[in-house]
């Protein structure tokens, strides 16, 4: 139960969007990556289906993640940070009726908003070939159902309609624009035109779609600067897989060295990271905060007995 005195994450997100500048939304795949994003100063984050599929299942983003899995990860992330969290709801995990349950579950997880796409299930990453899309009427029903569910539980919950019409076989910008405007009319707050390939396509979306846009600066899409996105009027921009890709590269390098050089690789890593903010993982992850809570709530004698004369990191 969300306290009436507490500002909902969805309300905070809408306040950020009202500032009128492009909101940068890095993608997290677990609670730790979300905490790192927050500590870097970003005002919100996303829970990306691509990255959760890779990190949780070790499999590609082809519709293998279940509703329970993505909601579970969203709940962990939302409880680990104080910034608003948005989530990837894929195709809504079923038909329009199922979408209502999907919205209810994400709201219960303290999520600030979701995006739902018009792909055929099982979906796939928007920047990978082989996508297919459902009939527009089917997607309209999902948006209307999602809108009904969020209005009953959290009217500020942000509903983003993602359209993959440009990236399918024979997909055109005309069809993308037609669908996006229909999705706005059906109740979507924002549009996510997926896999745009040129700056001209972005400009046309801004001009012809009757609602705010979110843009994913990855894959086949141009890497426009934040200044350019602000000038175009893009409401939000994602860096969906940055956390996944950077951590994967780092782990591949580390374990490659470790497999080759054993303990010498560990020593080199420790020397390289000696002055890094996360060099002391015990401190970085928050053991000191736990010590303070113990001192506040446990009997003094128990705290003294727990730490006095023990070996290891002393928070």
The CATH number linked to 61 is: 3.20.20.60
Structure tokens, 76: 């962990």
For residue 312, being part of any structural domain is answered with no
Helix, strand or coil, per DSSP, at residue 282: helix
User: Which of 192, 209, 240 represents a domain boundary (last residue)?
Assistant: 240
Residues 6 or more apart whose CB falls under 8 angstroms from that of 227 comprise none
Q: Tell me, what's the pLDDT at 170? A: 83
One domain for residues 236 and 115: yes
Is 145 in contact with 152 (CB distance < 8 Å)? no
To which H or E segment does residue 59 belong? none
CA–CA dist 220, 237 (Å, integer) = 15
To which H or E segment does residue 96 belong? helix 96-108
| Segments forming the whole domain that contains residue 26 | 9-240
One domain for residues 251 and 118: no
User: Which of 240, 258, 292 represents a domain boundary (last residue)?
Assistant: 240
One domain for residues 92 and 154: yes
Q: Tell me, what's the pLDDT at 5? A: 63
For residue 187, being part of any structural domain is answered with yes
Is 76 in contact with 65 (CB distance < 8 Å)? no
One domain for residues 57 and 170: yes
One domain for residues 231 and 255: no
One domain for residues 130 and 254: no
User: Which of 221, 240, 259 represents a domain boundary (last residue)?
Assistant: 240
For residue 283, being part of any structural domain is answered with yes
One domain for residues 132 and 258: no
One domain for residues 186 and 70: yes
Question: For the chain, how many structural domains are there in total?
Answer: 2
One domain for residues 270 and 184: no
One domain for residues 39 and 177: yes
Structure tokens, 2: 């969300």
175 phi-psi bin (left φ>0, alpha ψ -120 to 50, beta other):
alpha
Q: Where would I find the H helices in 83-169?
A: 96-108, 136-153
For residue 3, being part of any structural domain is answered with no
- What is the residue whose two structure tokens read 């209005």? 151
Q: Tell me, what's the pLDDT at 171? A: 85
For residue 1, being part of any structural domain is answered with no
Q: What share of the chain is helix, strand, coil (3-state, %, to 5)?
A: 50, 10, 35
CA–CA dist 247, 80 (Å, integer) = 19
18 exposed, middle or buried (CB, 10 Å; 0-12, 13-18, 19+)?
exposed
Q: Tell me, what's the pLDDT at 309? A: 86
103 phi-psi bin (left φ>0, alpha ψ -120 to 50, beta other):
alpha
One domain for residues 15 and 110: yes
Q: Tell me, what's the pLDDT at 2? A: 46
Low-confidence ranges of the chain (pLDDT < 50): 1-3
The CA-atom distances, in angstroms, between 289 and each of 285, 299, 304 are 9, 17, 16
- What is the residue whose two structure tokens read 């990556």? 33
How, if at all, do strands 85-88 and 45-47 pair? Answer: parallel
One domain for residues 111 and 216: yes
Q: Is the pTM of this model over 0.85?
A: yes
């Amino acid at each position: 139960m969300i306290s009436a005195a507490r500002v909902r994450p969805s309300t905070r997100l809408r306040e950020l969007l009202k500032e009128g500048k492009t909101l940068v939304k890095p993608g997290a795949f677990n609670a730790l990556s979300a905490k790192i994003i927050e500590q870097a100063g970003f005002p919100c984050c996303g829970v990306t289906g691509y990255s959760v599929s890779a990190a949780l299942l070790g499999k590609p983003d082809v519709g293998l993640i279940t509703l329970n899995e993505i909601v579970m990860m969203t709940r962990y992330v939302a409880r680990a940070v104080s910034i608003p969290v948005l989530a990837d709801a894929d195709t809504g995990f079923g038909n329009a009726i199922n979408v209502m349950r999907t919205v209810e579950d994400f709201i219960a997880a303290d999520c600030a908003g979701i995006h739902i796409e018009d792909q055929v299930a099982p979906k796939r990453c928007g920047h990978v070939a082989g996508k297919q899309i459902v009939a527009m009427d089917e997607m309209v029903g999902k948006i209307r159902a999602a809108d009904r569910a969020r209005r009953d539980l959290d009217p500020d919950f942000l509903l983003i309609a993602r359209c993959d019409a440009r990236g399918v076989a024979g997909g055109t910008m005309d069809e993308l624009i037609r669908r996006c405007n229909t999705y706005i009319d059906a109740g979507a707050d924002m549009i996510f035109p997926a896999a745009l390939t040129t700056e001209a396509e972005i400009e046309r979306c801004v001009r012809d779609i009757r609602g705010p846009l979110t843009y994913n600066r990855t894959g086949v899409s141009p890497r426009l600067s934040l200044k350019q996105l602000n000038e175009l009027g893009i409401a939000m921009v994602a860096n969906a897989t940055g956390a996944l890709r950077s951590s994967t590269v780092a782990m591949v390098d580390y374990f490659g060295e470790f497999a080759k050089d054993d303990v010498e690789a560990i020593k080199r890593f420790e020397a390289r990271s000696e002055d890094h903010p996360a060099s002391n993982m015990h401190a970085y992850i928050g053991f000191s905060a736990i010590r303070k809570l113990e001192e506040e709530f446990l009997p003094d004698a128990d705290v003294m007995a727990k730490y006095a004369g023990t070996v290891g990191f002393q928070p």
